[in-house]
Amino acid sequence: MEEKKSQAVIEVTESGPLRITGTFILKDMKTGNETRLSEIWLCRCGKSANKPYCDMSHKVR
Amino acid sequence: MENTSSSRDERKYRNEEITVYWKPSACVHASYCYRELIEVFDPGRRPWVDMKGSTTEKIIETVNLCPTEALSWKWNDEEKNKVISKDQYNHINFRRPELMDKSDNGIIENPVSVKVMSDGPIVIKGDFTLLYDGNKKEIRESLISICRCGASGHLPFCDGQHRKIGFTG
């Protein structure tokens, strides 16, 4: 059987957000919203005012 | 997901080259747009977007700063929308796929599932490539959990610490 192809790239940026590119469906379990996207940056520091998205708060002291 | 954008929750602003979409319900007032380009994006003015206030290039650059799906854009020439580089973060291809010209959208068989858990981690499932700390891992039919609270002792992965610190989001 052929090796399955990678559908998306999940990149843990250094001291920054999680960057996801490719073919994926984002589901926000809090709101139930489901979106098909090709690129997204998700907050990893816990400080974003716009969770789950990154708003660059990790750079603010 | 069905396309539910009503005219009430969707405004369009055009110049000769591009259309900027504004979805008020998605705006969190992060203020990137008017701090960058008040000549175009002025919350105190009606209408608050004036496409004549700057160049197309500068407007695109500013729309791309929006951290939410409140602002997005596309070329008026649909042909140009077919080749958009990944750094055009808020082009509708990336930010608002439901607005895209559906004519040549292929069916995607195995999209990766990215679940943002309530007050918890990001759980990713499927066939994907994981890049972290200079490592590259090919994950197949499996699942990982990425910390969202910043407090894990095992970063970038979740170790359940969000519960102890009372993370919400």
Question: How many residues are listed for chain A in this entry?
Answer: 61
Contact A44 B132 (CB under 8 A): no
Q: What ipTM was assigned to the predicted interfaces of this complex? A: 0.92
Residue A51 lies in a domain: yes
Q: Determine the distance in angstroms separating the CA of B55 from the nearest CA of chain A, rounded to an integer.
A: 25
Per-residue burial over B114-147, b if 16 or more Cβ lie within 10 Å, else e, is: bbbbeebbbbbbbbbbbebeeeeeebeeeebbbb
B20 and B93 belong to one structural domain:
yes
Which residue bears the tokens 């003015």?
B45
Q: Which residues of B touch A24 (CB under 8 A)?
A: 111-114, 126, 128
B95 and B44 belong to one structural domain:
yes
B15 and B92 belong to one structural domain:
yes
What is residue B94's predicted lDDT score, i.e. its pLDDT? 81
Residues 6+ apart with CB under 8 A from B136: B129, B130
Range of the domain at B44: 8-104
A18-28 and B135-146 as β-strands: parallel, antiparallel, unpaired?
A: unpaired
B53 and B126 belong to one structural domain:
no
d(CA A15, CA A7): 25
Residue B1 lies in a domain: no
**How confident is chain B (169 residues) per 10-residue block, as mean pLDDT?**
51 96 86 92 94 97 89 93 82 81 52 91 93 93 91 92 91
B91 and B63 belong to one structural domain:
yes
Contact A18 B30 (CB under 8 A): no
**Quick check: A34 contacting B, CB < 8 Å?**
yes
Q: Which residues of A touch B124 (CB under 8 A)?
A: 10, 20
What is residue B25's predicted lDDT score, i.e. its pLDDT? 85
When divided into structural domains, chain A yields a total of 1
When divided into structural domains, chain B yields a total of 2
B66 and B119 belong to one structural domain:
no
B135 and B99 belong to one structural domain:
no
**Quick check: A39 contacting B, CB < 8 Å?**
yes
∠ CA B93-B94-B99, rounded to 5°: 45
Q: What integer best gives the mean pLDDT of chain A?
A: 88
Q: Is the pTM of this model over 0.80?
A: no
